Structure 1
């Protein structure tokens, strides 16, 4: 017979033996005793005070709700607790039967003169002043205080005048001239001829064309400019120039695609486009627009008008016109001095009676004779 296999002996798992004398039972018993003792003390403290005197006294809840118990100087809090625990009610009976002294009412003046205690918070002080003053007086702002921005445009009482906001004062509505046809006499050295400017304003867009002719050669150059009108006046989009025996060249003002920039057909690269920038033709209409809208009501000698002027050659110059003053005939004389040896010197005479169009223009390049244009007539279209 086969030998009986011996089974492995299984050792019983050992578990910690819970002893009745552990820490948890003792802690639970202590908490239970403390709760029972606290409950008894609360019952004794709540129900023994009304029975402390033989005289007819109001129930204890009325003492709490009608008026707070006055302080008892001869009975410190520590002694009151000791007496309550010992069962001696003689002193408590005396304190309970004393009539409560009425608390003095604090007037607004007293509240204002009362010194603030170090432990009083700002919220407590504000609440006390609110209770002392049931009808607060509305505060009146100082006379020299600056009004709120949204009140700057309101009318001053009694005058009917309005005070514009800083944004409205900085934004001046520019007046662009209406559609017109300008005829000029032109002269450049020994050559003389005629020039015509066609200015067409259609809503918020414009078109401008300058054609110059001489008797023998005919058309010697043709310039165009088109764009729109904005807060800065003219905003050109494209400028073209075609001269005698030269192909057409163009300047593009990119305003809505990426960063504003100026592109040239004559060269690669671009130049930054700043507000108010013009081309070599639109600056004439821009000058008429700016002169028709003086910022202070009228122009003064020494005032200046600045704008960037881009040419088809691929450069951008900063033109700053200085107002020299008015001559005997009432024409405004403006001068632009060149910034460098390759810049253009410009002199312009503006007539306010001719819709602020230039009645005389003189452009001097670094080499060659100056180009002069003199207004010969103006015809609305």
Structure 2
């Protein structure tokens, strides 16, 4: 043990040092050679091949090539489209004139012309203007069949002219209050007519009043409105110191007839018949619808008029004429000594209502009504 410890220590043998700098240059050269070979191969694929099989080097300098010259387009005339065949239209040839060249046969319907932009793109020397189309003598001589062929259903060419109206439609006046000045002999007062039209029905009321006595008589009328104008159903009349009397117009139960409360029996009911109040509104209705467009002196308007006394008179109003103020004067002459005489002056500016009424009975004083105002309702 002591000998071992006394043995002198010796340094370990030195290992040869590694030279890193020698290996790295070799690897770099190798990689450079490989990359160079690859680049040469890539360049070789891009070189052009000569016809004799030898490769000729091409300068590596690249220059920009000029843009190829684009040839100018030559405009060619656009061919005209073929006309659409129409069975009802045939081709006709335009007649040749001495100072014109004969034209080619053309279709009766001209083909569609090119647009304005297409015509402007054509050269002036290549542009062809279409020749004027002239109608054939046959077409010019008889244009009516062509017009009829082009007419469509419902157009003015095929629509028949409206037939003339068989009769003038009657129009009753609108609802209104009429105020009259009234005079009967020595008595004078006021009268008012209330006219109410509601669709196909009407109501009418006349009241006359004088000072001191008050109401001296009251009349009412109600009924329907039909093609003949007013069609009364019931009429009543009340006078001073007299009970009410009535007239009934039976239109829907059995034969048309007129019944009276003042007596038994009846009278036949004819179209257009009126009572002693409704005739005023019927006259305004008739005067608003003159036959032929206007009234003339000598024209007449006829109607039956039933009274509460139990009689039916035929009233025929004759138009005497029109005065300077524009009023129409109508007169009804009595047929017998017991008939009623009536004169009426009608103003078309007042909805054809009478502006003056004069009633003369066979006994008693005449009754006069003068229009003092009109108030629509």
TM-score interval (norm. to shorter) = 0.5 to 0.7
Residue of structure 1 equivalent to 2:293: 297
SS at 1:296's partner residue?
A: helix
> TM-score under structure 2 normalisation?
0.58
SS at 2:283's partner residue?
A: helix
SS at 2:292's partner residue?
A: coil
Residues 116-150 of structure 1 show CA distances to partners (whole Å, capped at 9, x for unaligned) of xxxxxxxxxxxxxxxxxxxxxxxxxxxxxxxxxxx
C-alpha deviation, 1:163, in angstroms: 2.5
Residue of structure 2 equivalent to 1:337: 333
Residue of structure 2 equivalent to 1:50: none
Residue of structure 1 equivalent to 2:267: 271
C-alpha deviation, 1:366, in angstroms: 1.1
SS at 2:349's partner residue?
A: helix
**Cα gap change, 1:250 to 1:298, in 2 (>3 Å):** same
Residue of structure 2 equivalent to 1:195: 191
Q: Tell me which structure has the larger Cα radius of gyration.
A: 2
Which structure shows the bigger proportion of residues in helix conformation?
1
Please give the alpha-carbon distance, in whole angstroms, between the structure 2 residues aligned to 1:157 and 1:345: 56
Q: State which of 226, 244, 249 in structure 2 corresponds to 1:248.
A: 244
Residues 270-296 of structure 1 show CA distances to partners (whole Å, capped at 9, x for unaligned) of 000000000000000000000001111
Q: State which of 224, 234, 237 in structure 1 corresponds to 2:233.
A: 237
Residue of structure 1 equivalent to 2:310: 314
Asked if the contact 1:350/1:357 (under 8 Å) is kept, the reply is yes
* RMSD of aligned alpha carbons: 1.6
Residue of structure 2 equivalent to 1:163: 163
Asked if the contact 1:155/1:162 (under 8 Å) is kept, the reply is no
Q: Give the gaps of 5 or more residues in structure 2.
A: 1-153
**Would you say 1:179 and 2:162 are equivalent positions?**
no
**Cα gap change, 1:314 to 1:162, in 2 (>3 Å):** same
Asked if the contact 1:155/1:161 (under 8 Å) is kept, the reply is no
Residue of structure 2 equivalent to 1:368: 364
> TM-score under structure 1 normalisation?
0.57
C-alpha deviation, 1:162, in angstroms: 2.2
After the TM superposition, list the runs of 4 or more consecutive aligned residues in structure 1 that deviate by more than 3 angstroms.
Answer: 154-161
Please give the alpha-carbon distance, in whole angstroms, between the structure 1 residues aligned to 2:326 and 2:350: 12
**Would you say 1:282 and 2:282 are equivalent positions?**
no
SS at 1:169's partner residue?
A: coil
Please give the alpha-carbon distance, in whole angstroms, between the structure 2 residues aligned to 1:253 and 1:197: 22
Please give the alpha-carbon distance, in whole angstroms, between the structure 1 residues aligned to 2:270 and 2:316: 15
Please give the alpha-carbon distance, in whole angstroms, between the structure 2 residues aligned to 1:243 and 1:221: 4
**Cα gap change, 1:280 to 1:156, in 2 (>3 Å):** farther
Please give the alpha-carbon distance, in whole angstroms, between the structure 1 residues aligned to 2:182 and 2:256: 35
C-alpha deviation, 1:159, in angstroms: 9.5
**Would you say 1:350 and 2:346 are equivalent positions?**
yes
Please give the alpha-carbon distance, in whole angstroms, between the structure 2 residues aligned to 1:353 and 1:311: 30
Residues 248-267 of structure 1 show CA distances to partners (whole Å, capped at 9, x for unaligned) of 00000000000000000000
C-alpha deviation, 1:369, in angstroms: 1.6
Q: Give the gaps of 5 or more residues in structure 1.
A: 1-153
C-alpha deviation, 1:158, in angstroms: 8.3
SS at 2:282's partner residue?
A: helix
Asked if the contact 1:156/1:162 (under 8 Å) is kept, the reply is no
Residues 165-218 of structure 1 show CA distances to partners (whole Å, capped at 9, x for unaligned) of xxx413x21010000000000001110000000000000000000000000100
Residue of structure 1 equivalent to 2:85: none
C-alpha deviation, 1:161, in angstroms: 4.3
Residues 1-381 of structure 1: matches in 2 within 5 Å? 157=157, 161-164=161-164, 168-170=165-167, 172-381=168-377
Asked if the contact 1:212/1:221 (under 8 Å) is kept, the reply is yes
SS at 2:258's partner residue?
A: strand
Equivalent residue pairs, number:
224
**Cα gap change, 1:155 to 1:203, in 2 (>3 Å):** farther
Please give the alpha-carbon distance, in whole angstroms, between the structure 1 residues aligned to 2:160 and 2:293: 21
